[in-house]
Amino acid sequence: MTEFHTELSPIVLVDLALLTMLMFVAIAMLRSRHLFAVIMLSGIYSLLSAAFFVSLDAVDVAFTEAAVGAGVSTVLMLGGMLLTARREKPVTPGRAPVALAVVFLTGAALIYATIDMPAFGDPSAPANTHVGQAYVEQTPKDIAVPNIVTAVLASYRGFDTLGEVVVVFTAGLGVILLLGVGSVRGGEPVRDRPDEED
């Protein structure tokens, strides 16, 4: 088996630039106490990850990330922020040596584990050889739709996607039950205070 090396092509440099920006946005999100800024930064984070997914040729994932992560969740979080405070409560910084040690050890173990991972873009990596290759080869014969991602999502893994839709439905149901819209048959919506009049 020959050793695979990723060349330092312009695409890899773009990836590195995007990942660096992702890291800085994440640090800025951790440090900011202003919730509006944090929500905007999380939108930027999603948009940067969408760009990163495009450079990895995962356009379907990038599309979802841009629409859901950068678009709708930013709006929903702004709506959520309006119901609470504009600023996070100030936290007094403390020293927690045990937590620091645990985080440090876990991080070191994860970085050590990446040494054994296949090189970036290696065609003989396990992810590209077994199931992935089977989908690429079988989709034109089994499903005959051009977009393999859709074939996997809606046909090969149709049952999983049904589960995902039920998850989305359950999320909506939970919000309806907690915040209350009243019943379809004409029940009363829930009010914050019982003496409140419309």
Residues lying near another protein in the complex (CB under 8 A) are found at 36, 59-60, 62-64, 67-68, 71-72, 75-76, 79-80, 82-83, 86, 142-147, 149-151, 153-155, 158-159, 161-162, 164-166, 168-169, 171-173, 175-176, 179-181, 184, 192
Cβ-count burial of 57 within 10 angstroms (0-12 exposed, 13-18 middle, 19+ buried)? exposed
| Rg (the chain; Cα; Å) | 23
Q: How far is the CB of 174 from another protein (least distance, A)?
A: 9
Nearer to another protein, 117 or 181 (CB): 181
What single letter denotes the amino acid at residue 181? V
Q: How far is the CB of 70 from another protein (least distance, A)?
A: 11
Q: How far is the CB of 197 from another protein (least distance, A)?
A: 14
Cβ pair 39, 81 in contact under 8 A: yes
Cβ-count burial of 22 within 10 angstroms (0-12 exposed, 13-18 middle, 19+ buried)? middle
Q: Which whole-number Å values give the CA distances from 82 to 1, 44, 101, 122, in the listed order?
A: 58, 20, 38, 47
Nearer to another protein, 10 or 194 (CB): 194
Nearer to another protein, 25 or 151 (CB): 151
Q: How far is the CB of 19 from another protein (least distance, A)?
A: 22
Q: How far is the CB of 108 from another protein (least distance, A)?
A: 37
Nearer to another protein, 118 or 132 (CB): 132
Tokens at 144, concatenated: 């005959």
User: ∠ CA 7-63-15 to the nearest 5 degrees?
Assistant: 20
CA distance 46 to 62: 9
Q: How far is the CB of 124 from another protein (least distance, A)?
A: 27
> Residue with structure tokens 């948009």?
47
Nearer to another protein, 44 or 81 (CB): 81
**Helix/strand/coil for 87:** strand
What single letter denotes the amino acid at residue 189? P
Nearer to another protein, 133 or 183 (CB): 183
